[in-house]
Amino acid sequence: MNKIVLAQIDTIAGNINHNSQKIIDCIIKAKQNNADLIIFPELALMGYPFGDIFIRHKSIITKQLQALEYITSLSDGITALVGFAEPTWDANKKPFYNSVAVAQNGKIINIARKRLLPNYSEFNDYRYFEPADKSCEIFEINGEKYGILVCEDSFNDKSFFKGNSIYNIDPVAELMKQKPDTLINCSCSPSRCAKEYLKNSLFSTIAKKYSVNYIYVNQAGYADNLCFDGSSRIYDKNGNITLRAKTFEEDFVITSDNTGKINPLPTGMDKKINLNNFNTDYSTDLDRTYKSILFGIKEYFCKNGFTKAVLGLSGGLDSSICALLLADALGKENVWGISMPSRITSCQSKDDAKILADNLGINFLEIPLAETIDPLKSVLNSAFDKIKTDKYSKSTTIENLQARLRATILWSISNEHKQMLPIATSDKSEAYIGYATVNGDMSGGFAPIADVTKTKLFALGHFLNKIRPQKDVIPQSILEKPPGAELKINPKTGKTVCAEEENMPYEFLDEIIWFVENKGFGFDDLFNHKFLYEKKHALSDEEKTEWINKFFRKSQFAVYKWHILPPSVVVDIHSINSVEYRQPIISCIN
Amino acid sequence: MNKIVLAQIDTIAGNINHNSQKIIDCIIKAKQNNADLIIFPELALMGYPFGDIFIRHKSIITKQLQALEYITSLSDGITALVGFAEPTWDANKKPFYNSVAVAQNGKIINIARKRLLPNYSEFNDYRYFEPADKSCEIFEINGEKYGILVCEDSFNDKSFFKGNSIYNIDPVAELMKQKPDTLINCSCSPSRCAKEYLKNSLFSTIAKKYSVNYIYVNQAGYADNLCFDGSSRIYDKNGNITLRAKTFEEDFVITSDNTGKINPLPTGMDKKINLNNFNTDYSTDLDRTYKSILFGIKEYFCKNGFTKAVLGLSGGLDSSICALLLADALGKENVWGISMPSRITSCQSKDDAKILADNLGINFLEIPLAETIDPLKSVLNSAFDKIKTDKYSKSTTIENLQARLRATILWSISNEHKQMLPIATSDKSEAYIGYATVNGDMSGGFAPIADVTKTKLFALGHFLNKIRPQKDVIPQSILEKPPGAELKINPKTGKTVCAEEENMPYEFLDEIIWFVENKGFGFDDLFNHKFLYEKKHALSDEEKTEWINKFFRKSQFAVYKWHILPPSVVVDIHSINSVEYRQPIISCIN
């Protein structure tokens, strides 16, 4: 048996020095451990995703090829599989192949080129890569035969996908004609809800079907809103996992030392999730969601040179969960929670914000908004009167002004202090319908929960409380109160208006979002569908119609806001993140 | 000779009712005029670009096919060429063909499918479309034979592009084997600097080379930062234009009535532009730039339901040009210029802002910043002291605060008044290096000049003054003063710091941008290049090195800001607009 290293590294797009140094260090360590073969993820040398940078920064291409030459020179006594962007040097072709170089004894003995180029969702392979028209020849080490697949190449098993595959060829079937003992899949595969179950079933099926060993090496890292979970692993010929690297962390695992060591996945991550219907039981995805966001925060901050975060604490669910995630990712001493109560902020909210900060041990400061907002209001009111054009009879101006002043304070604090980033606390349900203020709560250097819907956030809150030794870190009152921005008073009740009064129940909204994202439902489909909410509450056809129409109207208008959302972490099955989903601002959806 | 209508319509992506009504109206009018053939642009029925909307809003597809059926039923006595997204209904293929239906006497007698699918720059055809593997059969009307090309299909003439074509096949050459009398090109082709010269040369070359009539029908419209200029036209067999529709405007032209009528292009638009070297003579592109932005503003406002704009007037170049463009696009009575002087705003700037507003006849209001900024500053200063973490010794906090308060005032004004949008006045040079404040001057509902560099803006200013009857609408002092944000005082001079002191001369910066965007220059290429600036001024190697490094450092850091730029209008040869250029925030370019 050959000794094999799964080098699950973290890369930075275009940073050839950084990436090649990691690769070199791993190869040296692998040689010290007498490994026969070391495998890196897809595009390890260039970093992924690299977008269009090579078009305007051509020197990256030369640097990459020089680095590959040097790395190849280190391959004496070892075989190294190094993913790189291989120039086609052909004006009639796309600029690159998405390739894996097989470096052995100082030479590149073979190159495997990706055949299936995904060009949907967050993938844009066909923008940059030329597809290979045949599978790479297998190669040998000590009599063992290996065949290479690049990520998507493994995702077209006809029987597994039952005719729902989008490509005509199956590179696995073609590669297997050469009878390799082991298939190696070099990947950059982002983590999403329900993805691990799919991958594991598929890889296991392939190993069993062809009675072949299957090695999967995935990048561990974050870029451009996507978290790559790592979780590299080996399947034996029966489709059983014999080794698994860590999740959401770089790793370096060697078969002989580690075979049999199967690092645990986040709780429930490998479980099947019902993709046919919406439900609010998020239990199998909460730990992964939590760890995915933690990893995203750590990576984004570190790679951009930030160490500290400042956020507004309203005493509500969104900012509380953001504070907890930031404290866990950056260290509680690096998080500043700022309470900025206005005259209509309730005592309960103020208290909850303080209790939460104390429970988390983060820094806390109260900056009352009243004394800064009043002078601005009076200047504005006099200006409003001078502008002779239609005014709204009921306007959201003062509500938005509060949110914008709060964000201005946070940005000012981050401006004044080193390596500090202000945080946008918008969640997915609210972003979807634009229930967030531009330059206000949706503004920041990072938006941790922008892909988590409200009903899932409540579940996440309970989950996060449960996994900590400390009781009720997020106070029960925060988990129980109806969400609301506390920006205005309902004159009838004298209380602040809660969000569900203004919009619709979150459970109903989240179910609409689910069916639009996963099933492409339009008005009629939604109207004819029986919502979970309807099983618990009476709902007239009029109200149902109103809510569904409100969703389409508001989400149409919110597209502008989606376009300017701060960087975030994709965690859901689908998202509105522009890395994945592109809706022109000028477009009509209903 | 057949009577042919070039129906240069404006569409909205996904708005099937809107698009089909336009198509129907044009067909009825064409029939009233006894036309034999009516030609619509590429994807006229679906609207272009439509992005991913059909994935989550599937009903659009059904609606589109129903509309096509109805439109077809109207084709008695006329032939109509209607661009649409034709479902492939095949899980192994992309969702659509990019097709043109030939409707004749109530039936679809033929479908032309696009063969060359651009997937670079602003084009993402391969994300959505399956390429056709052969050319469409030609069709006849009264003995005349017509062949159809869809946009890019016409862009691969081997001799014209001299080996720099990115596709192997040339659909024109293949289609010509069927010996049509006339080629018809249905397009959605965005306007850019230097593009008209290329198109005209290419189309004329094809007509002459094959001795064929050539009809080009292009969309006139705006979506997702792109302006489609229309300018549909007919070439005779000698490659001469015999008819041209309007530019940046919808049009309906009939050959027999209009042949010989060649609507003028914006001044200089058809001239050759030197693409081999940077120069500051922008004269051949100023009128097109102006009209392109006007059209973009009109379209964006109208299609999103806005009629009025509010912007800050600093007395500087950027805001002055924005004000003029808005006044011309929306009507002077619909523009509100707000002067928001701080304590360090010079009298000259205040006066210039007022004079400009008076010259343009727009509404003007002064809101002094001092009384609103002081309370905020004192609250912030006390907060800064309580935050026990590293402070910057020199910080930009107060500078940014001024910009953010100004934006907050503009957003509040727009919030309070109906159909009013706040304007971001950032220009391209400053956006490139991030010399613009998040939630400040780079924030707004629309950014008219985000793709115009500073040296071009000066030229545009002079041009705009020259074409108006009124003398010096933009006061000479605005066109002459060195640009600067007037956010801080240089303690040595006691004067406000100008932008070139903080960054580098704009002429030098714009030349860097030009070579990075057009030639992919890196540090070494730039250092070895002789800049225009150097021909006029002494420049030491140290300073040159510092400026080039500063460019890379600042533009790397600015990528986050590029991701959250408001909607704008692409006008330059290349741009940083995310519709065209995608650089991950986590990436390294040097």
- Cα separation, B547 vs A381, whole angstroms: 45
Determine, for residues B300 and A586 on separate chains, whether the beta-carbon distance falls below 8 Å. yes
Mutate: best of A415, A421, A441, A521, partner B, most B CBs <10 A: A415
CB-based contact A416:B392 (threshold 8 Å): yes
Burial A167-193 (b: 16+ CB within 10 A, else e): bebbbbeebbeeebbbbbbbbbbbbbb
Amino acid at B163: G
Whose structure tokens read 């909850």?
Answer: A352
* H or E segment and range at residue B552: helix B541-563
- The DSSP string of A504-526 is --HHHHHHHHHHHHHH---HHHH
pLDDT at position B496 is: 77
Say if the Cβ atoms of B584 and A50 lie within 8 Å. Answer: yes
Compute the distance between CA of residue B265 and CA of residue B284 in angstroms, rounded to an integer.
11
Distance from CA of B463 to the nearest CA of A (A): 31
Nearest to B489 by CA among B368, B402, B551: B402
What are the domain boundaries of chain A? 4-258, 283-502
CATH of A283-502 given 3.30.70.380, 3.40.50.620, 3.40.50.2000, 3.80.30.20: 3.40.50.620
- Do A586 and B401 lie within an 8 Å CB cutoff? no
Cβ A588 vs Cβ B18: under 8 Å: yes
Q: Which of A391, A400, A516 is opposite residue B417, by nearest beta carbon?
A: A391
Which tens digits make up the pLDDT trace of A375-397? 899 999 999 999 988 998 888 99
Which value does ipTM take for this structure?
0.95
Token digits of residue A541: 């056809």
- A413 to chain B: which residues are within 8 Å by CB? 380, 383-384, 387
Question: The sheet that has A335-339: what strands, in order across it?
Answer: A363-366, A335-339, A308-312, A420-422
**CB < 8 Å to B91, chain A:** 163-166
> Which residues in chain A have Cβ-Cβ distances shorter than 8 Å to B412?
380, 397, 400-401, 404
Confirm if A242 and A235 have CB atoms less than 8 A apart: yes
For residue B394, what pLDDT is reported?
A: 81
- The reply to whether residue A583 touches residue B164, judged by beta carbons under 8 angstroms, is no
| Among the partner residues A390, A391, A587, nearest to B13 by beta-carbon distance | A587
CB spacing of A47 vs B587 below 8 angstroms:
yes
Q: How far is the C-alpha of B322 from the C-alpha of B314, rounded, in Å?
A: 11
Closest residue, chain B, to A337 (C-alpha): B387
Distance CA B548, CA B566 (A): 27
> Chain-wide mean pLDDT for chain B?
95
Q: Do A91 and B418 touch (CB under 8 A)?
A: no
Structure confidence by residue, pLDDT tens digits, A468-512: 999 999 999 999 988 876 767 777 777 777 888 889 999 999 999
| Full pLDDT tens readout for chain B, 590 residues | 899 999 999 999 999 999 999 999 999 999 999 999 999 999 999 999 999 999 999 999 999 999 999 999 999 999 999 999 999 998 888 999 999 999 999 999 999 999 999 999 999 999 999 999 999 999 999 999 999 999 999 999 999 998 777 888 999 999 999 999 999 999 999 999 999 999 999 999 999 999 999 999 999 999 989 999 999 999 999 999 999 999 999 999 999 888 899 999 999 999 999 988 999 999 999 999 999 999 999 999 999 999 999 999 999 999 999 999 999 999 999 999 999 998 888 888 899 999 999 999 999 999 999 888 888 999 999 999 899 889 988 888 998 999 999 999 999 999 999 999 999 999 999 999 999 999 999 999 999 999 999 999 999 999 999 999 999 999 999 999 888 767 777 777 777 778 888 899 999 999 999 999 999 999 999 999 999 999 999 999 999 999 999 999 999 999 999 999 999 999 999 999 989 999 999 999 87
User: Taking all residues of chain A, what is their mean pLDDT, rounded to a whole number?
Assistant: 95
The total of other beta-carbon atoms located within 10 Å of residue A493's CB is 10
Report, as residue numbers or ranges, the catalytic residues of A: 42, 114, 151
Chain A touched by B386 (CB under 8 Å)? yes
Are A146 and A181 contacting, i.e. CB atoms less than 8 angstroms apart? yes
**pTM: predicted TM-score of the whole model, two decimal places:** 0.96
Task: State the best of A126, A439, A575 to mutate against chain B, taking most chain B CBs within 10 Å.
Answer: A439
- The architecture in CATH of the region A4-258 reads 4-Layer Sandwich (3.60)
How far is the alpha carbon of B407 from chain A, nearest alpha carbon, in Å? 9
CA–CA separation, A538 and A544 (whole Å): 10
Q: Which residues of B touch A405 (CB under 8 A)?
A: 376, 408
CB contacts of A439 in chain B (<8 Å) are: 404, 407-408, 411, 439, 443
SS3 B220: strand
Q: Tell me the pairing of strands A4-8 and A37-39.
A: parallel
Smallest CA–CA distance, residue B12 to chain A, in Å, is: 6
Task: Report angle CA B129, B131, B132 to the nearest 5 degrees.
Answer: 130
Cβ(A172)–Cβ(A144) below 8 Å: no
Residue B485: what pLDDT?
A: 64
CB A79 within 8 A of CB A104: yes
Contacts of A409 in chain B (CB under 8 A): 376, 379-380, 383
Across the interface, whether the CB atoms of B375 and A372 are under 8 A apart is answered yes
Contact pairs from chain A to chain B, CB under 8 Å: 316
- pLDDT tens for each residue of B85-128: 999 998 888 999 999 999 999 999 999 999 999 999 999 999 99
Query: Which residue numbers of B are catalytic?
Result: 42, 114, 151
Token pair of A252, please? Answer: 């370096």
CATH fit for domain B283-496, picks 1.10.3720.10, 3.40.50.620, 3.40.50.11540, 3.40.50.2300: 3.40.50.620
C-alpha to C-alpha distance for A557 and A586, rounded to whole angstroms: 10
Q: Residue B221, Cα to own-chain centre: how many angstroms?
A: 10
Which DSSP string corresponds to B366-398? E--SHHHHHHHHHHHHHHHHH--SPBPSS--HH
Per-residue pLDDT at B482? 82
Between CA B410 and CA B406 the distance in angstroms is 6
Distance between CA atoms of residues A92 and B5, nearest Å: 36
Assess contact for B404 and B385: CB atoms under 8 A: no
Interface of B with A in 394-423 (CB under 8 A): 395-397, 400-401, 404-405, 407-409, 411-413, 415-420
Query: Over the stretch B256-290, which tens digit does the pLDDT of each residue have?
Result: 888 899 999 999 999 999 988 999 999 999 999 99
Contacts of residue B129, defined as CB under 8 A and 6 or more positions apart, other chains included, come to B94, B96, B97, B98, B114, B117
Residue pair A416/A441 in contact (Cβ under 8 Å)? The answer is no
Give Dmax (Cα) for chain B. 86
Per-residue tokens: A6 = 């799964």
Compute chain A's Rg from CA coordinates: 26
Chain A from 537 to 566: CB within 8 A of any B CB:
560, 563-566
Give CA–CA dist B319/B337, Å, rounded. Answer: 9
Q: What residues 154-173 of chain A have any CB closer than 8 A to a CB of chain B?
A: 163-168
What is the model's pLDDT at position B27?
Answer: 98
Q: Would you state the structure tokens that stand for residue B55, as one six-digit string? A: 């994935």
What gap in Å lies between CA B442 and CA B568, rounded to an integer?
Answer: 11
Among A76, A66, A68, residue whose Cα is nearest residue A40: A68
How distant is the Cα of A565 from the closest Cα of chain B, in angstroms?
Answer: 7
Element (H, E) at A107: strand A107-113
Q: Write out residues 67-96 of B within 8 Å (CB-CB) of A.
A: 91-94
Nearest 5°: the CA angle B198, B132, A171 is 115
Of A15, A386, A517, the CB nearest to B56: A517
Compute the distance between CA of residue B11 and CA of residue B6 in angstroms, rounded to an integer: 15
3-state secondary structure of A193: coil
